[in-house]
Amino acid sequence: MGVVYVFGTGFPSTLQYSVLADITRDTGISTADLVQGTGVLFLFLGWGCLFWQPIATTYGRRGVYLLSTLLTVPLMVWTAYTKSLPEWYINRVLLGLVVSPIESLPEISIPDVFFAHERGAWMSLYVFCLFGSNFLAPMCAGWFAEAYGWRWTMHFGAMFAAAAFFIQFFFMEETMYFRNTLEGLEDEDHVAASDAKVLGGRDSINSDEKSASDSAVAVSDTAPKQTYIQKLAWFRKMDGRPTNRQMFQSMVMPLAYIVQFPSVAWAGFIYGINLCWYNVLNGTASPILAAEPYNWGTGLVGSVYAGPLVGAGFGALWAGIAADKITLWLARRNNGIREPEQRLWPLLLTGVLSCAGLITWGVGAYYQIHWAALTVGLGILTFSCVAGGSVALSYNIDCFKDISGDTTTSIIIIRNTLGFAVSYGITPWYTNMGLRGCFIMAGLLSLGCTYTFLIMIWKGKALRKWSAPRYWKYAARTVHKHE
């Protein structure tokens, strides 16, 4: 059902990318202003998590998923009637706030139901669906707009969100529950037996989670069975949930975590860099392909997103299944001890491919090469965007699982603030500097930023040890007393 939510909100909110030229022609809003409005959307997609995430961790995930999807419907209808720049900006702000759970809520739903050695694959599936919905939307929007116009394309987005809401309402179940222990502090015999099976028969526990803590408060491991009607409730009060005071505190704590946990700040930086290049793609695809010598209509501009969609699929496989196998292999070589930094090695490939994709796209467009080569370049770039984002999210959860609800929000704030900055500046950047210079610089920046993972391989464990006292202090609060 999480996939239904991601597509139900991610698809409608990104329909505009391939029809920017049509919106400009009809409303008089410049393409640069439309792209900057999309940057504002991404900014509030990040900062809106400060509001939604604490509610989801206190009263349940289901209600937040449903509210977000339902409120998307009228906002998409409003988008179809937008006629001025102020109206466009207000619409983008509200849509960003409403859809913001898409950025952080699935990340904490995954640890609800999957073990540590499985999270990489499922996190990659989520990131693939997130980016995939964003690529599938322009593909469909381009041809739909040619047949019915861009305004009816937005109405179609509203209908798509409405259908997703009804599916979730009847079939999505609550996944939130509260353990009576913290991850890494369970019974050692059980942990050793479980991890030995995963790691080929060798005893293993996470090396810096061996210390015990007596801070856990007993909470029942089981809950009474519910009827189907009871499961349809939007929100619920569970034993062991945070207090309302703790919920409001959680609305500001992610900002403190950015300073207090360097690993979280770095993960947000890596995810943000990858989102920047995704926004570069969206901000330049329509202007480049609609101009000489391509002169593509909205349908063909949308079709170019087939390359990124394929690239996203391979990126999810690399950061998910492949990364999980690499991590387990490295754990076996490390005497059966799993370290979060072992998950970072897939970035060795994504950094090179991101640089290559950006240069192929920008420099290729400058020299007006065949469109097929540009599509391949976009696919390579998207491979790196999806893989890099997935690795960053999985690394954060591996480091600080029991406060990952808040640290994920910290990461999304960093990510989307960086994305906003690039969306706001990409049009003047390539206009003033030229496609060739702009994208060569972007490619080299991407390579350098991604390869900062080598610093984390070297010093990541030391940084986690430095952060450990604060982590256990905050993690103890996640095993809440009854209200």
Higher-confidence position of 233 and 254: 254
**3-state DSSP assignment of residue 176:** coil
Q: Are 65 and 8 in contact (CB under 8 A)?
A: no
Distance between CA atoms of 218 and 178, rounded to whole angstroms? 10
245 Cβ contact list (under 8 Å, min separation 6): none
Q: Are 183 and 28 in contact (CB under 8 A)?
A: no
Name the pTM for this structure: 0.73
**Residue 266, pLDDT score:** 93
Q: What is the mean pLDDT of residues 172-180?
A: 69
Distance between CA atoms of 268 and 273, rounded to whole angstroms? 9
Higher-confidence position of 111 and 347: 347
**Residue 31, pLDDT score:** 76
DSSP string, 414-451: HHHHHHHHHHHHHHHHHHHH-HHHHHHHHHHHHHHHHT
Distance between CA atoms of 333 and 312, rounded to whole angstroms? 30
**Residue 362, pLDDT score:** 86
User: How would you class 295 by CB atoms within 10 Å of its CB: exposed for 0-12, middle for 13-18, buried for 19 or more?
Assistant: exposed
Q: What is the mean pLDDT of residues 34-52?
A: 83
Residue 183 tokens read as 């991850």
Residue 452 DSSP one-character state? T
Q: What pLDDT digit, counting tens, does each position of 383-400 carry?
A: 988 888 888 888 888 888
pLDDT band for position 291 (50/70/90)? Answer: confident
Pick from 57, 176, 115: which is nearest to 324 by CA?
A: 115
**Residue 250, pLDDT score:** 76
Q: What is the mean pLDDT of residues 115-119?
A: 64
pLDDT band for position 190 (50/70/90)? Answer: very low
pLDDT band for position 181 (50/70/90)? Answer: low
